[in-house]
Amino acid sequence: MNYWLMKSEPDVFSIDILKTKKKSGWDGVRNYQARNFMRDDMKKGDMVLFYHSSCEVPGVAGLAQVSKESHPDPTQFDPKSDYYDPKATKENPRWFMVEVEFVEKFNSVVTLHTIKSIKSLENMPLVKKGSRLSINPVSEKEYKTILGLK
């Protein structure tokens, strides 16, 4: 099993929305590296740290689990969607997503500030300046360390 961190702006999609919906496709990713993780590497059962970005208190807000592996992101075909990609076709989709399932909302957010203060988490891309990738692999140790902080 592998572990991941996925960023989302809570104003757009939060752990609370996932809790209500139970399951959701992780649509709207338009970065090739992040897409490749979803298309090639994320497997059913993998655990996901659900990270809230661009908000008052950035940090890991809860847990999700991959419930369906790679399939085309339908928003790329929808001209009305913000994520519409005119160069994508159903025969040759450009963007892929996984589906995630709600697991847990933490009682309190494990804040970026806290994560930055933990020596053993210093190699997480999250704490590195200028790291903008919205999906990152997480080691088992890092995953467990973060769970210990909730």
Partner DNA sequence: GCCAACGTTGGC
CB of 58 vs DNA, minimal distance in Å? 4
What is the C-alpha separation between 75 and 113, in angstroms, rounded?
A: 34
**In this structure, are strands 59-72 and 135-138 parallel, antiparallel, or unpaired?**
unpaired
- 44 vs 108 by CB, closer to DNA: 108
- Beta-bridged to residue 111, according to DSSP, are 59
CB of 7 vs DNA, minimal distance in Å? 5
- 90 vs 128 by CB, closer to DNA: 128
Beta strands in 2-132 (DSSP E): 3-8, 23-25, 47-52, 59-72, 96-111
What is the C-alpha separation between 123 and 120, in angstroms, rounded?
A: 7
Instruction: Please work out, in degrees rounded to the nearest 5, the angle formed at the alpha carbon of residue 21 by the alpha carbons of 110 and 94.
Output: 90
CB of 103 vs DNA, minimal distance in Å? 21
- 22 vs 119 by CB, closer to DNA: 119
- 40 vs 44 by CB, closer to DNA: 40
- 58 vs 62 by CB, closer to DNA: 58
Residues that bind DNA (CB under 7 A): 7, 9, 30-33, 53-55, 58, 112-113, 116, 128-134
**In this structure, are strands 3-8 and 47-52 parallel, antiparallel, or unpaired?**
parallel
CB of 99 vs DNA, minimal distance in Å? 20
CB of 73 vs DNA, minimal distance in Å? 14
3-class SS of residue 31:
coil
